[in-house]
Amino acid sequence: MIFIDNNGHTDPRLNLALEEYVLRNFSPTQDYLMFYINEPSIIIGRNQNTLEEINHQYVEDHNIHVVRRISGGGAVYHDFGNLNFSFITKHDGTRLSNFEKFTAPVIRVLRNLGLDAALKGRNDIQVVEKKISGTAQFSTGKRMVSHGTLLYDTDLGEVVNALNVKMSKIQSKGHKSVRSRVANISDYLERSLSIEDFRKLLLEGLYEGNEPFEEYRLTAEEWQGVRELKQEKYDTWDWNYGRSPRFNIQRTKRFPLGEVDLRIFVEKGRIKDFKIYGDFFGKEPLEDLEKLFLGIRYIKEDISSVLQEIYITPYFGSLPKNDFIDLIYGEDEEGVKI
């Protein structure tokens, strides 16, 4: 096993690019282990609809990154108190989602630290019914990544806030996260340890009985490749949001002049169909209004700039623009509690 040094980077886009770069470019006959800690971020599963998983307003207001990963599963929150481990190995022929093999050594270390940890559900490590780790896998056919989180001393209030979805009435085939009760590992330890001490103990524990892992630092050229992958993929709206499975949104809002009903169909993050029903829009045919939204990204900025152009038209005579943006892209007051 070779331990890959991530150089202490905490940008989730860089860490996920590094993991994918190692998976795709490093020796196919070697096994690798990597640790990384991300600054506050939500890491979305490969097949999820980003908007269905995040509290958009909260995430924006608090500068929380939203990044899609290549592995399946649900959305998780990371901060400086969450340590991620990642095994990048040959595909061992077992069915994906066999998490036992890769979680067993981690569970052993946690048990040695006095925690009553066990693999529960499909992919959770739990301590007394509370989740302290979520895991996921991705395979290229020959190689695979098996990675997981370890909630060490994460701000658990933020986990709830950031993942408290407020966009309602979305229908999609996107993979839905499995909400759980979560806990921090540090709360179960008898002595106090920093996350850095915990990281060291985990690394030592993982190679117990074997030779210490050989450490590898990437060359400048390899880092360049990682940065390119970051730029082409993990930095892009197309990957993080646009790649979501298609979805439908249905919204109704009562304005002083009457009710407006809206149906939007979004594919690859862009509005493909836009239907608006309401009886106070004046005499212009609504198709003209509807057409203006086709092809734009389903994000506040694009919606707002369309409305900018058409604000002074008969449609919007007496409707405040922000109310309209809210109708198309707002968040309901009552979110789904997790």
Ligand X SMILES: Nc1ncnc2c1ncn2[C@@H]1O[C@H](COP(=O)(O)OC(=O)CCCC[C@@H]2CCSS2)[C@@H](O)[C@H]1O
Note the residues at the interface with ligand X (CB under 6 A). Answer: 43, 69, 73-74, 76-78, 82, 84, 123, 131, 133-136, 147-149, 151, 159, 163, 177-180, 182, 338
- Min. distance of Cβ 108 from ligand X in angstroms? 19
Residue 107 belongs to what H/E stretch?
A: helix 100-112
For tokens 């623009």, what's the residue?
Answer: 321
DSSP assignment, residue 182?
A: B
Query: For ligand X, which is the closer residue by CB, 76 or 229?
Result: 76
Is residue 74 within 8 Å of 133, Cβ to Cβ? no
Query: For ligand X, which is the closer residue by CB, 5 or 287?
Result: 5
Q: Is beta strand 214-216 parallel, antiparallel or unpaired with respect to 2-4? A: parallel
Is residue 34 within 8 Å of 246, Cβ to Cβ? no
Rounded CA separation 176/52 (Å): 8
Q: Is 304 left (phi over 0), alpha (psi -120 to 50) or beta?
A: alpha
Query: For ligand X, which is the closer residue by CB, 12 or 278?
Result: 12
Query: For ligand X, which is the closer residue by CB, 179 or 300?
Result: 179
- Min. distance of Cβ 136 from ligand X in angstroms? 4
What is the Cβ-side half-sphere exposure of residue 247, based on CA atoms within 13 angstroms? Answer: 26
Is residue 73 within 8 Å of 138, Cβ to Cβ? no
Residue 329 belongs to what H/E stretch?
A: helix 321-329
- Min. distance of Cβ 131 from ligand X in angstroms? 5
Query: For ligand X, which is the closer residue by CB, 161 or 304?
Result: 161
Query: For ligand X, which is the closer residue by CB, 126 or 303?
Result: 126
- Min. distance of Cβ 29 from ligand X in angstroms? 24
- Min. distance of Cβ 217 from ligand X in angstroms? 21
Residue of this chain nearest to ligand X (CB atom) = 74
- Min. distance of Cβ 297 from ligand X in angstroms? 25
Q: Hey, how many other C-beta atoms are within 10 angstroms of the C-beta on 85?
A: 23
